[in-house]
Homo-oligomer: A and B are copies of this chain.
Amino acid sequence: MADISRPSASPGASPLFLREDEIRRGVELLYFGYTRLTNAIDQELGKQGLGRAHHRALYFIARQPDLTVGELLRLLAITKQSLGRVLKELHDRDLVVTKTGSLDRRQKLLRLTDKGAVLESELFAQLRERLSAAYVTAGQESVTGFWHVLEGLVPESDRQMVFDLRKEKS
């Protein structure tokens, strides 16, 4: 059993070992790709005294203005207490505003202020720089492959939520 964690790299390795190596390659690239991409914005965030948790909230609010608190909670998959702290800080810094929902007055709709939008787009610019460089190097075909594999990693139950980010709110 212990051998499974150490595949042979010999030329005649069995299909099982090749498969293992392909999986490990994916795990590692996903780890390094994701962490190095997020590292790209840490310096900028640090200047503002914010952390990654703040960026995730800013990002999704930018992506879908008038997002409700509940929707954001589902996207981030954290507790409302954790999110509450983050939203409070964003609000205190005039980066985010909330307004009462018009259809359901219990809901709070989230939006970036102008200041928040400026910050988010500065952060996004860093992500764009890295990701578009990777897209260009890899080519359009690779990019669609990249998307397909990642879509397959999102559990069925979350997939609609993720796809809906690309739509305008109704």
Q: Are B37 and A153 in contact (CB under 8 A)?
A: yes
A:136-155 near B, CB below 8 Å: 137-139, 141-155
Binding site of A, secondary structure by majority: helix, strand, loop or mixed?
helix
Contact digits for A98-119, partner B, Cβ 8 Å, 1 yes 0 no: 0000000000000010100110
Copies per complex of this chain: 2
Count of A residues near B, CB < 8 Å? 70
Q: Known contacts A32-B153, A137-B152; decide if A120 and B5 are in contact (CB<8 Å).
A: yes
Instruction: Among B26, B118, B150, point to the contact of A147 (Cβ < 8 A).
Output: B26
Q: Known contacts A19-B132, A21-B166, A32-B154; decide if A5 and B121 are in contact (CB<8 Å).
A: yes
